[in-house]
Amino acid sequence: MTDHHIGMIVPSSNLTMETELPRMFRAREEAMPEDRFLFHSSRTRMRHVTPEELRGMNAQTARASLELADARPDVVASACLVAIMAQGKGHHRTAEREIAEGLRSGGCEAPVVSSAGALLSAIEALGARRVALIAPYMKPLTATVVDYLQDAGTEVVDALSLEVADNLAVAALDPDDLRRHWRRLDLSGADALVLSACVQMPSLPSIQHVEDACGLPVLSAATATAHRVLSELGLETVVPGAGSLLSGRVPAAVRQAATS
């Protein structure tokens, strides 16, 4: 058995990243017991999903990266998608570079995954050009996510905002509700459905159910992050029951160059 140590930079009020990622990797361990995954987190303060608090959280990146460096992880994942996307187009590259620099300052050369960059690379790996998405954010922040994806070359054909501003309230949303929310979207022009464009909004129990119901590949910020983590570790991108992206049939994610 090989141990793989996964570092995570997690917003202080995020309860879902440390739930859904370990749950996916435990499912993988049951199917493929030759690999074991261990998780180590550093937290950055953020309670409400507002532009001001997102900027404040991003300012804590260097400290969080240095703390994780001491654990010598094999890969590091940054967990807040909208915090990166709200900083301007292509910012995931800058954020990944800054985290990598923080790790190197602590003597760690681990590759870095951001949930924002992972969502883009997962959509690309699926071969999707047009997506529909569901986000928990207020409408202006959802529009930010839509603009970010479209600037990166992915057309968003429809988007649903659940308009929940408090981050703990987002974590408390029932993932089973997504089994009816997706039907409010127009999927007629979509190649894939992003069931949760937020690593804080739980969706894992509904990913496979909705994919089977709608007939499109269904992914989330969390499953995209898992796909990219496995890709960076050089492992098969397989997690049972987590949608087409993690079926093992989709190519490994390719990291974009970390330049601003």
Residues recognised as catalytic: 80, 198
CA distances from 133 to 79, 158, 176 (A): 18, 7, 16
CA distance 39 to 41: 7
CA distance 179 to 181: 6
Quickly count: other Cβ atoms within 10 Å of residue 191's Cβ. 18
How many helices (H) and strands (E) in the chain? 11, 8
Strands (E) in the chain, as ranges, are 2-11, 35-44, 75-78, 112-114, 130-135, 155-161, 192-196, 218-220
CA distance 137 to 142: 6
CA distances from 165 to 129, 175, 185, 220 (A): 29, 17, 21, 19
CB-based contact 130:154 (threshold 8 Å): yes
CB-based contact 242:207 (threshold 8 Å): yes
Q: Residue written as tokens 């992880």?
A: 73
Query: Taking the CA of residue 252 as centre, how many other CA atoms within 13 Å lie in the half-sphere pointing to its CB?
Result: 10
The phi and psi torsions of 183 (rounded to 5 degrees) equal -75, -10
